[in-house]
Amino acid sequence: MKPFDYIRAEDTGHATSAAGQGATIIAGGTNLLDLMKLEVLQPDALIDINRLDLKQITEADGGLRIGALVTNSDLAADMRVRTDYPVLSEALLAGASGQLRNKATTAGNLLQRTRCYYFYDTAMPCNKREPGTGCQAMEGATRLHAILGGSDQCIATHPSDMAVAMRALAAVVEIEAANGETRHVPLSDFYLLPGDTPHIENVLRKGDLITAVILPAAPKGAQTYRKVRDRASYAFAMVSVAARIEMDGDTVKDAALAFGGIAPQPWRDADAENALIGKPATKETFNAVADILLKNADPKKDNAFKVPLARRTLIATLNELCGKDVA
């Protein structure tokens, strides 16, 4: 870990100003310190925002405004989240461990870095860590890697569970900039695909501070989060699905489907959702949705199983939410 200056933020303006001058914001630190210890990240200065008043969950515009520093534990346990946004509680509780959830924050979770083995090893080339050095995963070990949305520069996945649920809930990120202005970015626009710039993962600019995540009014219908992983607990998703379905009789009235473990960002595919909305909840419909979702899948040898796995997990999730018996 490289030496750094440690600054404790007194208010958000202090934080954005320090960040604007190059300091890295630290909140829970569960991923940042992990990466700093390996010198994957080498900030010159840390601005600690933990004492800022960003820990409230408040009701706003019929939805919820979740402060950036609300811990994963507190968010999962919040009775309004449990009742109105169960997909979010379920996703949070499926992630990491009790200890990590007590420290990890809402904003920090959105900004988690990939678990790609080669990103984590400074002896290996990595376009995300050191642009232009090459991608060692392309011809390497790819069990963790993306089948959708990757580029020839990078096929790393975003590892979050929480962000997948938030994507399905159409969350909006509230950002305060160094100039004091606040802007709102829908999560759908927040992440960037790797393309030729895999080191740029989102739309945040230097000096930006995420201050909250806003959930719109509780959606109608049923919600669920399903995570598929190698261990029964404490493991990243191979595939996960956050789904929300509103039925009208046997017809799907509205739906949102987001996926983890298969793409560089929490993945949502409007075409796949459109193949579901207004359609009868049948096997044929669900297969058509999966076909559209996976039509551009470009797997490697190690992660080819994610194509059938994503299909099956999606179909089982749809069956569950539409009241079908999968068995």
Name the residue among 165, 187, 208, 6 with its Cα closest to residue 76: 165
Between 265 and 284, how does the x/- string for binding to other proteins read (CB under 8 A)?
A: ------------------x-
The binder of other proteins chosen from 10, 11, 39, 196 (CB under 8 A): 39
Name the residue among 245, 85, 87 with its Cα closest to residue 161: 87
The binder of other proteins chosen from 123, 132, 249, 284 (CB under 8 A): 123
Structural contact between residues 188 and 265, judged by C-beta atoms closer than 8 angstroms: no
Dihedral angle computed from the Cα positions of residues 317, 320, 324 and 326, in that order, rounded to the nearest 10 degrees: 60
Residue 236 contacts other proteins per CB under 8 A: yes
* Tokens of residue 147, six digits: 């089948």
Q: Return phi, psi of residue 6, to 5°.
A: -110, 125
Structural contact between residues 22 and 60, judged by C-beta atoms closer than 8 angstroms: no
Name the residue among 120, 94, 108, 99 with its Cα closest to residue 66: 108
The binder of other proteins chosen from 13, 20, 86, 195 (CB under 8 A): 86
Question: What is the SS3 assignment for 43?
Answer: coil
DSSP string, 285-310: HHHHHHHHHHTT----TTTTTHHHHH
HSE toward the beta carbon, residue 320, CA cutoff 13 A: 15
Which residue's CB is nearer to other proteins, number 37 or number 253? 37
Residue 122 contacts other proteins per CB under 8 A: yes
Task: Quote the DSSP letter at residue 94.
Answer: T
In whole angstroms, the minimum distance from the beta carbon of 322 to other proteins comes to 13
In whole angstroms, the minimum distance from the beta carbon of 37 to other proteins comes to 6
Residue 132 contacts other proteins per CB under 8 A: no
CB atoms within 10 A of CB 131: 14
In whole angstroms, the minimum distance from the beta carbon of 226 to other proteins comes to 9
The binder of other proteins chosen from 103, 151, 279, 292 (CB under 8 A): 103
Structural contact between residues 202 and 191, judged by C-beta atoms closer than 8 angstroms: yes
Considering only residues 287 to 316 of the shown chain, the ones binding other proteins according to CB under 8 A are 304-305, 308-309, 312-313, 315-316
The binder of other proteins chosen from 41, 60, 138, 141 (CB under 8 A): 141
The binder of other proteins chosen from 99, 133, 179, 274 (CB under 8 A): 99
* Length of the chain (residues): 327
Residue 77 contacts other proteins per CB under 8 A: yes
Which residue's CB is nearer to other proteins, number 109 or number 175? 109
Q: Which amino acid is at 102?
A: N
In whole angstroms, the minimum distance from the beta carbon of 92 to other proteins comes to 9
Which residue's CB is nearer to other proteins, number 2 or number 181? 2
HSE toward the beta carbon, residue 293, CA cutoff 13 A: 30
In whole angstroms, the minimum distance from the beta carbon of 179 to other proteins comes to 27
Residue 55 contacts other proteins per CB under 8 A: no
The binder of other proteins chosen from 56, 58, 97, 274 (CB under 8 A): 97
The binder of other proteins chosen from 24, 50, 188, 197 (CB under 8 A): 50
Name the residue among 269, 313, 303 with its Cα closest to residue 116: 303
Which residue's CB is nearer to other proteins, number 60 or number 100? 100
Considering only residues 169 to 198 of the shown chain, the ones binding other proteins according to CB under 8 A are none
Name the residue among 19, 21, 70 with its Cα closest to residue 48: 19
Residue 14 contacts other proteins per CB under 8 A: no
Residue 135 contacts other proteins per CB under 8 A: no
